[in-house]
Amino acid sequence: MQIHLINPNTTASMTDQMVKVASAISNTDTIITGRTPSHGPVSIESHFDEAMSIVGVSDEVLRADAEGADGMILACFGDPNIWAVRELTNKPVLGIAQAAFIMASMVSTKFAVVTSLQRTVIIAEHLLNQYGYGHLCQQVLAVDLPVLSLEDDSAKQAIINKCIEARDAKGHEASAIVLGCGGMTHLRQEIEDKVGIPIIDGVQSAVKLLEAMIGMGLQTSKHGDLAYPIPKPFMGDLNRFGN
């Protein structure tokens, strides 16, 4: 089983880190291939960064499809342009936010999300509503640290503190916590050890959910709005996407 993990930002070290975590948890017959786009922002921390990632991500999705991948992970907690990307292939494509929310919804009645920057809180809130999990989420909290600084030790402690705050919020206790950034992936186990409730990472979740979908032959429906895009010319730098 071939799964391509596509990092919507262009920072290869972050791709590598996520592939490492993904590979550690995948089935023995699953091969995780990491892809870092050639075009786009080095990190995704705004609506604009999200939107712009479509170019590089589309390249990688089409390439994955052509290379016979069985499924693709869109490895940014924001699931940027998820419907657009699903149109490009009949192979399942899964965002790590949706994946994490799904896992949380199966082990708790109320969860929280701990994300990186305050300004991305609204992105998480929009996703919760889009997917239908708003009523299951007690709150979205931000450590307010840049995505690319999440490898620091101080970042780790800040995340743990936020998780504990969410777990113990009087009247709004979270029973599980979703890590709201792909850059927190490698910290999951350590955080869970400290916080003592299920800590759910979207990258791991996406790997396992894709294996599940592929295992039952489930593919994106091409009846309706996720059908392949109507072929048409694309101008300028994007003309490789047209025909």
Shortest Å, Cβ 220 to a second copy: 5
* C-alpha span between 38 and 41 (Å, rounded): 10
Shortest Å, Cβ 67 to a second copy: 20
Shortest Å, Cβ 152 to a second copy: 17
Shortest Å, Cβ 68 to a second copy: 19
Task: State how far the alpha carbon of 5 is from the alpha carbons of 18, 122, 132, 170, 239, in Å.
Answer: 8, 25, 25, 38, 25
Query: First vs last Cα of the chain: how many Å apart?
Result: 31
Q: Which is nearer to a second copy, 78 or 156 (CB)?
A: 78
Q: Which is nearer to a second copy, 13 or 119 (CB)?
A: 119
Task: State how far the alpha carbon of 94 is from the alpha carbons of 42, 66, 141, 206, in Å.
Answer: 21, 18, 23, 6
Mapped onto helix, strand or coil, the DSSP state of residue 243 is: coil
Shortest Å, Cβ 182 to a second copy: 16
Neighbours of 38 (CB within 10 A): 10
Shortest Å, Cβ 33 to a second copy: 19
Q: Which is nearer to a second copy, 17 or 52 (CB)?
A: 52
Q: Which is nearer to a second copy, 174 or 179 (CB)?
A: 174
Q: Which is nearer to a second copy, 33 or 241 (CB)?
A: 241
Q: Which is nearer to a second copy, 173 or 190 (CB)?
A: 173
Written as six digits, the tokens of 31 are 């091969």
SS (H, E, C) 126-170: HHHHHHCCHHHEEEEEECCCCHHHCCCHHHHHHHHHHHHHHHHCC
Spatial neighbors of 181 by CB under 8 A, at least 6 apart, are 77, 115, 116, 147, 150
* C-alpha span between 194 and 74 (Å, rounded): 28
